[in-house]
Structure 1
Amino acid sequence: MVNVEFGASTKDMWVIEDVYPEEEAEKIVNAQKGKIFGVVSGIMKAFSKQKGSISITGKEKRYEPFWHVQGKSTFEYKRSTGYSFQVQPEVIGVKINGKELKTQEGKPEINFSGEDHCFEQYEKELIQSAVTGENKGLNFYLKSNKRKIKSTSELTKSGSIVPIQHRASFLVSTLVKDILKPIQADTILQEKIEISQLDLYFRPVYTFELTESDTKRTKIVEVDAVTGHVEKVNTWIKGIKDRLTTEATWFDVGTEIAGAIIPGAGVAVIGGKYLKDKRAEKKKFGKARRMQVAYAKNKK
């Protein structure tokens, strides 16, 4: 069974701080009211006798959650492997480290068995919306100013939280499956997974409802409080705070992780008589260099 370890800094919650406060966000929306309702609406107004206005009829601040998960797997093991090399036709034996190895009859070839001492390490990072599961552009927010919060009650005083659809269990199990690699081993010296980062972030967004006074048509837009970007949306989440699941369930990863690493899932295959297919030389030597560096760091 692979050991899964969680770092001391995991399971923290952070809120990204506003760059554009509510007043600035409202100015951005007012400057783009005509564009928000479209060119056709503008033309119709130009020929209409009733000159209706566009005004903001509703607004709220909301926090959109996303996950940041990092982890790595480490495998150290030994396996028996058969090796061979070609010799000149006249060679009947080769002495290596004081031991003479004989060629096989009729074959200019030396065969011998050895024990491989192997080390593999794989890393993975996931940054993903806790609402849609997408990761487009979320890396940017990790570099923004932020502050740690102990409870989401600090956020609901000033806004609403978009309900979380993807909990930590989904991301961690996905990450674990990606960094668990099948190994061919006779003896396993070390196999573990370290989750070094498991944080939930909340990015601030201001949502505005705009209404045309003459047609009563409405549009909903959001202004990213960090970038100032304006986008039309179809959701208005006022009054759905009660649908939020509890914070404890957001970080619950036990059952899913156990399912990802149950015995027999192919994490370690005992009996190392199998050799992997040869890869391209460039990839093979590149991997060897990476693993040697990782092994040296692991032993410090």
Structure 2
Amino acid sequence: MEVQLSEERVLRLVPQLTLDDARILVENKKVHLVAGTVGALFTRPKPEEITLSYSELRYEPFWQVTACTHMVYERQRMFTVSASGPEVKQITLLGQQQPTQPQPKGSPTIVLSGVEHCEEDQRLRRMFTGDGTNKQDLERYLSFGSEEVIDLASYSWDGACMPPDTKAGAIIRQVITEIVRPVKAQVIHTENVSVEEIQLFFRPVYAFEYLWAAKNKRVVIECDGLTRDLTNGGKTFKKQIKSLLDRDLLFDISADAVGTFVPGGGIFVKLTKAAMNFKQS
């Protein structure tokens, strides 16, 4: 089996609104998002009673992996052919005469041994959160504009950048395990796996921490920097993210490890990987 890996890419999704724009959206709905359904309407806070204590822009990671397979193989099969009526005693096929076999019900039959020549192609795209959870609705972000990050070490982020907990090797393992499946075959002529896309995206998220002093309640409201969706119950990191983004650690794929991607043991794997070098001399 040959596994071909494409060039890895890191992309920053460009925010569709500024921090101030996001704050205005949140301010207009902060009473509902902070107070929720607590108490009757007359106990709900006034807008001025809920104050902004902290805000941040951060970039959250997600993975996109697209893979395809191409297989050419042969398998033996027995074909049963029914005669037109009980009077048929022999059938000549391809110049060979075959005696029919009577059946308890229906017409007599002959059984032929043949070989099926098969060609099979599959393709799938999978999306994963930074912790390795398969979440296909992340595809909605792929339509937004992005900027490729060539050198992670020198790239200037306009917000905190969160490294993914799950690295490329584990993500690719999940995809290949899903797409490579056993087939019933006597001879396999070609068995190729191509990982066409290995992309790490970072999407913008604005987070606003509000304090409702009368209730001693703090609530973090998040604004999606692409879709403008608002959610409460979020979190802030307040510059606690100190991990450096290292391309070699994020894309931890090696020829020695690729064998673990393929389900089942005893399979010879040839790895073909795009040659890349992003380190500056």
Post-superposition Cα deviations, 1:58-115, rounded to whole Å, max 9, x if no partner, equal 11110011111111122111122222212122222222222222224x5522122112
Post-superposition Cα deviations, 1:8-59, rounded to whole Å, max 9, x if no partner, equal xx31111111111111011112222222321547744769xxx963222211
TM-superposed CA distance for 1:5, in Å, is 0.8
Check whether the contact 1:182–1:266 (CA below 8 A) recurs between aligned residues: no
Q: Secondary structure at the match of 1:235?
A: coil
Length-normalised TM-score, structure 1: 0.76
**Aligned equivalents of 1:197, 1:130: Cα separation in 2:** 17
Q: State the AA in 2 paired with 1:81.
A: R
Equivalent residues in 2 for 1:211-290, closer than 5 Å: 211-213=211-213, 216-244=216-244, 246-254=246-254, 257-261=258-262, 264=265
Q: What is the aligned partner in structure 2 of residue 90 from structure 1?
A: 87
Check whether the contact 2:207–2:235 (CA below 8 A) recurs between aligned residues: no
TM-superposed CA distance for 1:167, in Å, is 2.0
Q: State the AA in 1 paired with 2:251.
A: F
What stretches of structure 1 of length at least 5 have no aligned partner? 268-300
Q: Secondary structure at the match of 1:238?
A: coil
Check whether the contact 2:76–2:113 (CA below 8 A) recurs between aligned residues: yes
More helix as a share of residues: 1
Distance 1:188 1:205, change over 3 A: same
Q: Percent identity?
A: 22
Check whether the contact 1:209–1:218 (CA below 8 A) recurs between aligned residues: yes
Q: What is the aligned partner in structure 2 of residue 131 from structure 1?
A: 131
Q: What is the aligned partner in structure 2 of residue 55 from structure 1?
A: 51
**Aligned equivalents of 2:184, 2:34: Cα separation in 1:** 62
What stretches of structure 2 of length at least 5 have no aligned partner? 269-281
Q: What is the aligned partner in structure 1 of residue 113 from structure 2?
A: 113
1:36 to 10, 23, 33: 33
**Aligned equivalents of 2:58, 2:76: Cα separation in 1:** 59
**Aligned equivalents of 1:111, 1:45: Cα separation in 2:** 81
Check whether the contact 1:76–1:190 (CA below 8 A) recurs between aligned residues: yes
Equivalent residues in 2 for 1:71-220, closer than 5 Å: 71-87=67-83, 88-104=85-101, 106=102, 108-131=108-131, 133-135=133-135, 137-153=137-153, 157-213=157-213, 216-220=216-220
Distance 1:264 1:34, change over 3 A: closer
RMSD: 2.8
Distance 1:113 1:132, change over 3 A: closer
1:17 to 14, 17, 20: 14
Q: What is the aligned partner in structure 1 of residue 2 from structure 2?
A: 3
Q: How many pairs align?
A: 260
Answer yes or no: is 1:68 the counterpart of 2:64: yes
Distance 1:46 1:260, change over 3 A: closer
Q: What is the aligned partner in structure 1 of residue 279 from structure 2?
A: none
Q: State the AA in 1 paired with 2:173.
A: S
Q: State the AA in 2 paired with 1:133.
A: T
Check whether the contact 1:170–1:256 (CA below 8 A) recurs between aligned residues: no
Q: After alignment, is 240-249 or 93-102 more displaced?
A: 240-249
**Aligned equivalents of 1:156, 1:214: Cα separation in 2:** 40
Q: State the AA in 2 paired with 1:27.
A: I
**Aligned equivalents of 2:45, 2:20: Cα separation in 1:** 30
Distance 1:190 1:132, change over 3 A: closer
**Aligned equivalents of 1:135, 1:93: Cα separation in 2:** 60
Check whether the contact 2:153–2:246 (CA below 8 A) recurs between aligned residues: no
**Aligned equivalents of 1:261, 1:132: Cα separation in 2:** 18
